Structure 1
Amino acid sequence: MQVSLGGEGDVVSQGGLGRTRNQVLFVAALAVAVAVFLAVAAARHGFFDLKVYAGALRYWARGGGEIYDYVKPWSTYGFTYPPFAAFTMLPMAYLPWLVSIVVSVTATVVVSVLLLWWLVDPLARRQGWTRWFALAVAVCLAAAFEPMRETVNFGQVNMLLLFLVAADLLWLVADRTPTGRPVPATYRRFAGVGIGLATAIKLTPGIFIVYLLVTRRWRAAAVASGTAAAATLLAAAAAPDASREFWTEALWNTDRVGSLAYISNQSLQGLVARLDPTHPSTVAWLAAVLATLAVWAWRSRVAVAAGDEPAGLALTGVVGCLVSPVTWVHHLVWLIPALVLLVHNAFDAPAGSLRRRGLLGFAVVSYGVLISRLVWYWEGRSQVTTLVGFVGANAYVWISLALLVGLPVRNRSQLVEAGGEADLRQPDRGTSAGQLNLVGRPLTVGA
Structure 2
Amino acid sequence: MTWPASVRSLDGEGADRAICLLLLVLWFAVTLADHWQSPSSDLAPLYMAGWFLAEGRPDLVYAAPPLFFGGTPPAWKETLDALGNPWPHAFPYIYPPLWAKLLSYLTPLVGPVAFTKAVMVLHVAMLTAAVAIAARLARPSGMRPLIWVVISLALLQTSVFSETALHFNQPQITVMFLTLLAFERLQAGSDRTAGVLLGVAAAIKILPGVFVLLFLFERRWRAAAIFAATVAGLVVLSFLVAGAGLHGDFLTAVDRIENTLPVVPSNASAQVSFLLAADALGLLSVPTTPAGAFLTTGEVPFLPVVAMAARVLLVALLAAFAFRLAPRDPFVRRARSLLALSVLIALFSPVGWLHYYVISLLLLPQLAAVMPPRLALPAFVVFGAMTSSTLYIQSVLAFGWDWTIINIAVSALWFGVLFVIWRSAGHPAAVPAR
Instruction: Specify the TM-score bucket, using the shorter chain as the normaliser.
Output: 0.7 to 0.9
Q: Using the alignment, how far apart are the partners of 2:353 and 2:139 within structure 1?
A: 32
Alignment of 1:320 with 2:335, yes or no, is no
Q: Using the alignment, how far apart are the partners of 1:91 and 1:395 within structure 2?
A: 45
Task: Identify the residue that residue 225 of structure 1 maps to in structure 2.
Answer: 228
**How many Å apart are 1:214 and its aligned residue?**
4.6
Task: Identify the residue that residue 375 of structure 2 maps to in structure 1.
Answer: 358
Matches within 5 A, 1:148-187: 148-172=162-186, 174=187, 177=188, 183=189, 187=190
1:84 to 84, 88, 98: 98
Q: Using the alignment, how far apart are the partners of 1:88 and 1:111 within structure 2?
A: 21
Matched AA of 1:105: M
**How many Å apart are 1:316 and its aligned residue?**
1.4
Deviates more, 1:99-108 or 1:117-126: 117-126
Alignment partner of 1:327: what SS? coil
Q: 1:402 to 1:296 in 2, by over 3 A?
A: farther
If you compute each CA radius of gyration, which structure gives the higher value, 1 or 2? Answer: 1
Task: Identify the residue that residue 50 of structure 1 maps to in structure 2.
Answer: 43
For the aligned residue pairs, the C-alpha RMSD in angstroms reads 4.2
Task: Point out where structure 1 has 5 or more consecutive residues left out of the alignment.
Answer: 178-182, 347-354, 421-447
Alignment of 1:69 with 2:91, yes or no, is no
Which digits, 9 at most, give the CA deviation of each residue in 1:263-310, with x for residues without a partner? Answer: 211112322444414525332342233223322332245435421212
Q: Using the alignment, how far apart are the partners of 2:381 and 2:308 within structure 1?
A: 31
Alignment partner of 2:263: what SS? coil
Matches within 5 A, 1:16-415: 46-66=39-59, 67-69=61-63, 71=73, 72-73=76-77, 77-87=91-101, 89-90=103-104, 92-94=106-108, 95-120=110-135, 126-127=141-142, 129=144, 131=145, 135=149, 138-139=152-153, 141-172=155-186, 174=187, 177=188, 183=189, 187-240=190-243, 241-247=245-251, 249-254=252-257, 260-274=262-276, 275=279, 276-277=286-287, 278-279=299-300, 281-303=303-325, 305-306=327-328, 307=330, 308-346=333-371, 355-376=372-393, 377=395, 391-407=405-421, 408-409=424-425, 414-415=430-431
Deviates more, 1:193-202 or 1:49-58: 49-58
**How many Å apart are 1:117 and its aligned residue?**
0.8
**How many Å apart are 1:102 and its aligned residue?**
2.5
**How many Å apart are 1:318 and its aligned residue?**
0.8
Deviates more, 1:307-316 or 1:279-288: 279-288
**How many Å apart are 1:250 and its aligned residue?**
1.2
Q: 1:403 to 1:84 in 2, by over 3 A?
A: farther
Which digits, 9 at most, give the CA deviation of each residue in 1:340-391, with x for residues without a partner? Answer: 2222434xxxxxxxx3333333322222222245444458x9996xxxx754
Q: 1:290 to 1:165 in 2, by over 3 A?
A: same
**How many Å apart are 1:321 and its aligned residue?**
0.5
Alignment partner of 1:394: what SS? helix
Q: 1:211 to 1:227 in 2, by over 3 A?
A: same
Alignment partner of 1:419: what SS? coil
CA contact (8 A) 1:121 1:135 kept: no
**How many Å apart are 1:201 and its aligned residue?**
0.8
TM-score by length of structure 1 reads 0.70
TM-score by length of structure 2 reads 0.72
Which digits, 9 at most, give the CA deviation of each residue in 1:199-236, with x for residues without a partner? Answer: 11101102112333355444432322222122112101
Q: 1:107 to 1:383 in 2, by over 3 A?
A: closer
Q: 1:50 to 1:374 in 2, by over 3 A?
A: same
Matched AA of 2:45: V
Q: Using the alignment, how far apart are the partners of 2:191 and 2:11 within structure 1?
A: 41
**How many Å apart are 1:145 and its aligned residue?**
2.4
Deviates more, 1:78-87 or 1:284-293: 284-293
Matched length: 377
What fraction of aligned residue pairs are identical, expressed as a percent? 19
Matched AA of 2:250: F
Alignment partner of 2:113: what SS? helix
Q: Using the alignment, how far apart are the partners of 1:69 and 1:146 within structure 2?
A: 29
